[in-house]
A and B are shown apart, each in its own frame.
Chain A
Amino acid sequence: MLFLKTLFKNRTEVVSASVLALLLLVIFPLFLPVFRLNLFGKYLSYGFVGVGLVLLWGRCGILSLGQGVFFGLGGYCMAMFLKLEASDPITTKIQSTPGIPDFMDWNQITALPWFWTPFKSLPFSIAAILVLPALLAFIIGWAMFQRRVGGVYFAIITQAIALIFSLGIDGNQGYTGGRNGITDLRTLLGWDIRTTMAQYVLYFVCVLLLIACALVAKYIINTRMGRVLMAIRDREDRVRFSGYDVASVRSFVFALAALFSGIGGAMFVLQVGFMSPSLIGIVPSIEMVIFTAVGGRLSAIGAIFGSLLVNLGKTTFSEAIPELWLFLMGGTFIAVVMFFPNGVAGLMESPWVMRRFETLKAMFLKKGATPSTPSAVLTEATTTEAVTIKHVTEVTK
């Protein structure tokens, strides 16, 4: 019970989480054709990055314009495993060198490069997906946070890192598949990932993993760590003088966000079937930020909604009226930053919406009594004794 109480601070959060779970687990699979469901699965894989950004940027104030790097690392690890599986000697017997991926053959490479060989094993690949992005983030983060690099400087440097990464992969066609990326992925340990059945399974795996990440994020937000993150965002000096090692906390949250992003990248590859540098450079990285900004940078659930919403918009508009789309997206960036800094989630929790919600609830309750609120965090300052005592007894149970 304490766990659940830590997870959801107030009724709005329970409602929005339930709505999301309902949509993702029940409504979409029931009513969407599998092709569209697969597309939604792709959007949701970006949601992993969004959840990480909620902790990193929304709560802790660290803007990273390079989350695509970690998304890409996870994605490439999975792609490498799947590609090796699809490049067994029998399938590739028409190549000059059978047993290696086709793009290597086209580039006159005659033996599998050393860093590819471990990816023949699924356990290693999964371990790499979980460890590599987080490790890289930790190292980069530690180096910078120890020197108190923050704010705009950090953002620019992460952007440069995204550029380095995408250019590096792009320019090494023999080793990484180059601009075309790693394509033609077929089976995971013999199980064909392109069948309809597989797409349903992978969708549910993606959703469950995403919900798990979101729950982890929510849990963290409601522990002391969540408050420390906000404190660092608002007054990092004071946090140091309260005895916290700010660099460690920042590195931790950067690594965690990278971990989530890496998992997202892997799920992307499984559902979409390829990975390329165009998904991991500067532009995709900043788009991932906008998904979070639109959905709500302070809310993990909001970030997931944001991914769905913006990507849906992108697919709809860029097919129908491509010229309009860039205008819309640019306008959205500006509008969100200037008028809705807490995104859709922030709007949902605004006083106007809350009052409508209370009215609706009163209509349903029909009692006319004031609805009882759980240990809600009130936005207006209240100083009644009753609230204080309730707070105390609530928490010491």
Chain B
Amino acid sequence: MNITELWSIFVMQGFAGISLFSVLLLMGLGLALIFGQMGVINMAHGEFMALGAYTTYLCSSIVESRFPAFLPYYFPLSILLAFALSAGLGALVEWSMIRYLYKRPLDTLLATWGLSLILQQTYRSIFGAREVTPTLPEWLMGSFKPTGNIDIPINGVFVLGLAFAVTAALTLFMFKTSFGLRLRATVQNRAMSNAVGINTKMVDRLAFSVGCGIAGIAGAAFTTIGSTGPDSGSRYIVDAFLVVVFGGAANLLGSIASAFGIAQAQSILEFFLEGTKGKVATLLFIVVVLMFRPQGLFPSKVRSS
């Protein structure tokens, strides 16, 4: 193997890592928002992602059968719809279940696991156990070929762009809107926020919904790189948790850095080690680092009383 070929492999493998990075980032962002806000780990987060994916599939089926001319345009719309549906379900879940469990984070973990089982079975009953794929619009298929050896798939670029767009939107939301300010205030001092008139209950509900909505977007994005089944959600959930914990949980920058690190490490290791050994090696590395530095890469430096 010569240098150009090795380099091409690196670039392409690196790019495979980038797609994984985008998915992990999108899932991690939603989780980090929820965890940072409420200390709640949502074990059903993967199922909210799957909801987004199934929404896209539904959109594609409907468009294909009823409005075929619309096919090239439906995708961005389905992304919005995925966000809306997942956020809506998130609000419902928060209202009916999560808000009673705020003081008990471990119990929330278990309750949301139960929710994930219910959602998975719902998907199985409605869509069947087989994996499905929406019909993707033409402009998403194919790849760039900057050089003879390098093949960069367009859907990968799209998903990466989407991930960055969402991250930018979230950052703007958190730091430039008044709602974002209220959210950050509640995270830092709930009692005081209540005292100055911030409706922390609504803040919580909105934060949870937005987090789930982002998962929905992740799901829509995910359909471009893989097929969707009832347990697709559980495929990335442990990785998403580790992204959040490894990155320092309260922190946008941390999530980005750790999603990138984990995704790259995994795809590179997967190339050199056969089968699942690459994933095992990545996980092992993360766990060992966490044992020595449990606060993650970029912990928040708040003095606890």
Interface residues of A (CB under 8 A from B): 57, 61, 63, 140, 143-144, 147-149, 151-153, 155-157, 159-161, 163-164, 167-168, 170-171, 282, 286, 289-290, 293, 323, 326-327, 329-334, 336-338, 341
Contact = CB atoms under 8 A, between A and B. Distances in A.
B114 A333 contact: yes
Contacts of B292: 143, 147
Interface stretch (B80-88, B102-110, B164-172, B201-209): B102-110
A160 B121 contact: no
A331 B114 contact: yes
Contact of A334 (B41, B105, B114, B284): B114
Given A156-B41, A163-B238, A331-B118, A341 B286 contact: no
Interface string B77-119: 0000000000000000000010011001111111101111111
A282 B106 contact: no
B261 interface: no
A334 B113 CA distance: 8
Contacts of B277: 171
B114 A163 contact: no
Contact of A167 (B35, B118, B121, B279): B279
A293 B107 CA distance: 10
B124 interface: yes
Interface in B117-143: 117-121, 124-125
Nearest to B244: A156
B153 interface: no
B39 interface: yes
Given A152-B109, A153-B245, A164-B280, A326 B120 contact: yes
Nearest to B279: A167
A338 B111 CA distance: 8
B196 interface: no
Given A63-B109, A170-B276, A326 B117 contact: yes
A151 B106 contact: yes
Contacts of A331: 114, 118
Interface residues of B, number: 42
A160 B110 contact: no
Instruction: List 5 tightest A-B contacts by C-beta distance, closest first.
Output: A333-B114, A330-B117, A330-B118, A326-B121, A171-B276
Main secondary structure of the interface of A (DSSP, over half): helix
Contacts of A164: 280, 283-284, 287
B290 to A, nearest CB: 6
Residue of A57, A144, A337 with most partner-chain B CB within 10 A:
A337
B294 A289 contact: no
Contacts of B197: none
Given A153-B294, A333-B110, A160 B118 contact: no
Contact of A160 (B35, B113, B124, B286): B286
18 contacts: A63-B106, A143-B292, A152-B109, A153-B245, A155-B106, A156-B241, A156-B242, A157-B245, A157-B291, A286-B110, A286-B113, A323-B124, A326-B117, A330-B118, A331-B114, A333-B114, A337-B108, A341-B107
B275 interface: yes
Interface string B290-305: 1110100000000000
Contact of A327 (B106, B121, B276): B121
Contacts of A326: 117-118, 120-121, 124
Contacts of A334: 97, 111, 114-115, 118
